[in-house]
Each structure stands twice: as structure tokens, then as C-alpha cells.
Chain A
Amino acid sequence: MIRLQLKQRLADFTLDLDLTLPGRGVTAIVGPSGSGKTTLLRCIAGLERAAEARIEVNGNCWQDSERAVWLPPHQRALGYVFQEASLFPHLDVQGNLDYGRRRSRSPASDSQTAQIIKLLGIGHLLKRGTASLSGGERQRVGIARALLGSPGLLLMDEPLTALDPQRKAEILPYLERLHAELDIPLLYVSHAPDEVARLADHLVLLNNGRMQASGPLQALLPRLDLPLAHSDDARVVLEGVVSGYRSAYQLLSLRLAGDEHLHVIHGELPPGTRVRVAVQARDVSLVLEQPQHSSMLNRLPATVCAVETIADAAQVLVRLDVQGQPLLARVTRFSADQLELHPGQTLWAQIKAVALLSQAAGPPSSRFATTIAASAPDQ
């Protein structure tokens, strides 16, 4: 468990937080730029010293201003991945990796080191100088360097923001693998919704130095009172279990919590594998009658929970309940009026595209890291 209480006056606002975060898994910290995300991370790392703070990570107290406890950053068992990889230019890749490992009180063992190097796919780079690496390679080395000290907490400050989309796509699978295999908590600052949906278990929303919301990802994404649901690429994340595969159609079937099924074009996965899928609000359309002849493969019976007009007033955001699983749909206000959408109404949600994000859990050998967004095929 991570306990964070801190108060720090900044140039134009005060960072004032009281957070309890899970002691493992990925917590994404999101919020508009200038909301205090980076400062929060820097205070946790001890790179900045909050005036009033109590920082406790899985039982270790790093700062308690009331008891005048303050550990300098080098005595905190943490790994920090900055926005730019910030590799030491006077050391080669191996030298960079060794730097943290040599100074750790509980360094990664040789086999763990080999595993981390393999996980991040940097084995062939060890002898290279840092100047010759691509942006994605640099960041992977930076992540490995942070991990090799066997930190008790990993902090990542927008590690993908400085990369172009291609490099980003190259490195995300590594982060997903990390998510699946890492036992320590990871705080991940980001403002990219797709990264958050793919990686996070827990979500913290910051605004002007204050916590707007904190909770499990699945619960926060569909909340209409939070800005996430109102963004252009608003989405919900659902968890399901692989229930079948039709190889002739390359169609993977997933059973959701409420016994409903989703179908995704994907490679075969063993039945019982837990997976995470994302459904964007703009990919969900609503019909009153059960569609009989439709090319839409995914049709789920749903109940309207709430209807809210989006800022531009031409569209509405509909929060649906599919047997306990939340879903968001964004439709035009015209359609909403035509369908007379109102809370309590039962209807059908048609889903145009489901993105299979990653496997939620499973033995390491079976873990993989491909991500395929698939539109449902024509029937």
C-alpha cells in the first residue's frame, strides 16, 4: 500500500493530496498539464522536498515532516523513468545498466538481470554507445536501468510522450509485459488515454494540484462526472475470459462478467485466458429492437443509466449497464431524441470495434504482448 499525504506550494497553485494507492499493479496518474503530476512524482522520489508530507511505500516511510523524517532520493528504493531516457552519455548501454544495479542494496540477480534485458529486448545493444540508439531503444534501456536496482516502487513520468507514434507502438508491448510480470507498484504519469487503458489498474485524476478522483480503472472510465468520459476518445475497459475460437474466421470469443459475449478478430488464445478489452464510446451505437440482420457482430442488451449532453450540445453521452458492466455510447442528440433515450430504458448496444488490449494475468510463459484492434467482420 502506498500512502501519500503532501502539501507543496507551487508557482500558481498548491499541490494538496491525500492518497492511498494499491501496493502493486499500475496506477496511472492523469490530468491536464500543469496539474501537478510530475511534481507529485518528484516529491515521491525525493527530488523535490514537499514542505508538509508523509510518504509511505509498502511499510517504508520515506518522508514524515511531522517526525522530521526525510530520506534523500538515493536512499529510497525506487526506479524513476523520465520523459527523455536521460542515459549517461559517458557510459555505454551496459555501463548504464550497471550503474543502478551496483548501487542497489538488493540488486537484481544475474538471472533476473538476464530476464529484464530479455523482457525489454535490449540484449543486442549492451556494447553500444548511447548516442547511436533510437528513441525507443533509449527508453527501453532507461526502463531496464531503473528495474535492475530491484526498486520497491517504479515511477514513470510520461515515458512515451517524447516518442513518435511508431516508437510508441514499439515500446508499449514491453510495458504491457512489464505490467504482467512486475510485482512492485508502478506509478505512471500519462495523458494518453490509450496508454492508460492498456496499462493501468488504478487511476488517479489530478486537477490543479487536487485529487479529482481515485479508483479502479474500470470504475472511473465510465463516470460521466469526470473529464475522461467527455474526451474524444473516451472508452471503457472490460475484462473477459476467452471462451472459444473459430479459426476459419479468426474470431476469438470472450465471455464478459455478465455472461454476455464479445467477438474479436485475433489470433487464437487458450480458453480461460483472461483478457482486457477497450470499447470506445464513439464505436457504440444504440438500437431499440434486437437487431436481426446486421453486420455488427457485437450486440449486447443494455440498460440506460444516464444520459448527458456533451459540451458541444450536438452529441450526448450515454452510460449503459450491460449486466453489471458499464459501457459508454456517444450518439448525436438528434438520435437521442428520436430514440427518446432515458434512464431505465432497455435497448441494444451495437459495438463497431473492440480492441483487445492485453492478457490480464496468467503464467509468464503464456504471456504475450500483441495488441490488435479489430472491427467486427461482415457476417
Chain B
Amino acid sequence: MSLPLDAADLAAIWLTLKLAALTTVLLLLVGTPLAWWLAHTRSRLKGPIGALVALPLVLPPTVIGFYLLVAMGPNGPLGALTRQLGLGTLAFSFSGLVIGSVCYSMPFVVQPIQNAFEAIGKRPLEVAATLGASPLDRFFTVALPLARPGIITASVLGFAHTLGEFGVVLMIGGNIPERTRVVSVQIFNHVEAMDYASAHWLAGGVLVCSFLILLLLNRRGRPSVMPGTRA
């Protein structure tokens, strides 16, 4: 039996994995400080920023995709900036896709980490301060290790959610082989072409993959973040 996936399918899988991995890494880098800020700030901006981060949970992906497309376009603020920097426009490029995915999967990463930081409470950080740890030291040696379960959950959710995105990709990435054509778009192509067999292989793959990821996440359980230290 020949391999049921053709070269275009494999390219789409590879592109999807690359996109999801890169997005997850970027989200952890951006989302962790953002989650820290949301967990600790008393600023009036906490509400609006928190709502902004959560928007992708409720908005149709096409809405996010549309506004990102406009922003990245030659007349949009982001597009103007990238053109100024000599990078051209980001729309219909892999970089644009990464930016879109980061926005789209943001709440799936920020919220678990924020919850984990909030569950730690003030006390362990105060203890560390009285033991001579500077704020940065406290963040890396106390907050991050204690938030580890939340960070793992966030990574898995961010990765899995990026695997499954479609609307945003289509809006800002289009359907360019090896640059923006990810698995979900490729499945759409197969269905459009009435090639249900190929669609089945890819769709089934995504289904099984997502199921396994969630199963793994649940089996890890949710160890209580800090037993006995909430004041």
C-alpha cells in the first residue's frame, strides 16, 4: 500500500508542526510575563487587557483574521512598520501566520499560567524576599517552578489549539503551499476537490493527535499548586 499522504500533505503537516511549535515558544515568552502582570497588577488596565487577551475565545476566527489582515496590509499600522523596516508586508507569509496564531492562541496560554501564578499566592514570594531573593530571582526560583503545572498545561493547550486553527490562517495566510498551507487548510482543499480519502487521513490524524494530547494532559492531573501555603 502506498503512503496515503502525498508530498503536499507532508509539507502541510511539517508547516503545521513548525507553526505550532514556534507559536507555543513565542506565546510562552510573551504570555508568561503578561500572565504575571495580570496576576499581580492592581492597575485599572487589568480588566481591559484581560478581556482583550480572552477575546479569541469568543470571536469568530474570521474577525480576528480580518483585522490582522488589515493591520498587516500595506496601509495598516503593522504593515507600515514592517515596510519601514524593509521587511515588506506580513500578510500571506509564514511570519504573518505566526503573528496571527500568537494572537489567536493567546488566552489558551495566558489563562492557565495566570491561574497558576494566582494560586501560588503572595506568601512564597514574601518568604523568598525575606531570605534575600531579588524580585527577578524570586520569579525564576520560586514563581516559575511553582507554576510549572500551569505552564505545562498552557504549552500543551497553545500547541494543540494552533494545530487546529483554520479561519485566521485562511484570512491572513491564504493557501500558499509550503508557506501558509497548514493541515486544516489542506483538509479543506481535499474536501473541495472531493478527495475524501485524503481528507480522512489528515482529519483523522489531527483528531487522534488532539485526543492524545488532551488525554496526556488529563492524566498528568492537576496537582495542587501549593499545598498548605495559601495565607
Contact = CB atoms under 8 A, between A and B. Distances in A.
Given A74-B134, A88-B142, A80 B227 contact: no
Given A74-B134, A103-B137, A89 B229 contact: yes
Given A84-B229, A89-B226, A103 B133 contact: yes
B127 interface: yes
Contacts of B137: 74, 103
Given A103-B137, A131-B227, A86 B132 contact: no
A86 B129 contact: no
Interface residues of B, number: 24
Given A82-B123, A84-B228, A86-B124, A149 B131 contact: yes
Given A82-B123, A103-B137, A89 B130 contact: no
A90 interface: yes
A75 B148 CA distance: 28
Interface centre among B126, B127, B148 (most CB of A within 10 A): B127
B81 interface: no
Given A89-B226, A90-B146, A131-B227, A45 B130 contact: yes
Interface in B95-145: 123-124, 126-135, 137-138, 141-142, 145
Bin chain A's interface residue count. Answer: 20 to 34
Given A89-B146, A90-B145, A100 B132 contact: yes
A188 to B, nearest CB: 16
A334 B146 CA distance: 63
A86 B127 contact: yes
A72 B124 contact: no
B180 to A, nearest CB: 41
Contacts of B138: 74
A78 interface: yes
A70 interface: no
A131 B224 CA distance: 12
Interface centre among A84, A90, A104 (most CB of B within 10 A): A90
A46 B126 CA distance: 10
Nearest to A107: B132
A105 B134 CA distance: 13
Nearest to B128: A99
Interface in A89-109: 89-90, 99-100, 103-105
Interface string A67-87: 000001111101110101010
Nearest to B148: A90
Given A74-B133, A149-B132, A80 B127 contact: yes
A114 interface: no
Given A89-B146, A89-B226, A74 B124 contact: no
Contacts of A146: 130-131
A319 interface: no
Given A89-B146, A103-B137, A47 B126 contact: yes
A157 to B, nearest CB: 11
A208 B131 CA distance: 30
A86 B123 contact: yes
A145 interface: yes
Contacts of B135: 72, 74
Given A46-B129, A84-B123, 14 more contacts: A72-B134, A74-B134, A74-B138, A75-B132, A80-B126, A82-B126, A82-B127, A84-B231, A90-B146, A99-B133, A103-B131, A103-B133, A149-B131, A149-B132
17 contacts: A46-B129, A47-B126, A47-B130, A72-B129, A72-B135, A74-B135, A76-B130, A82-B126, A86-B127, A88-B127, A89-B146, A90-B148, A99-B133, A103-B137, A131-B227, A146-B131, A149-B132
Interface of A: 45-47, 72-76, 78-80, 82, 84, 86, 88-90, 99-100, 103-105, 131, 145-146, 149, 155
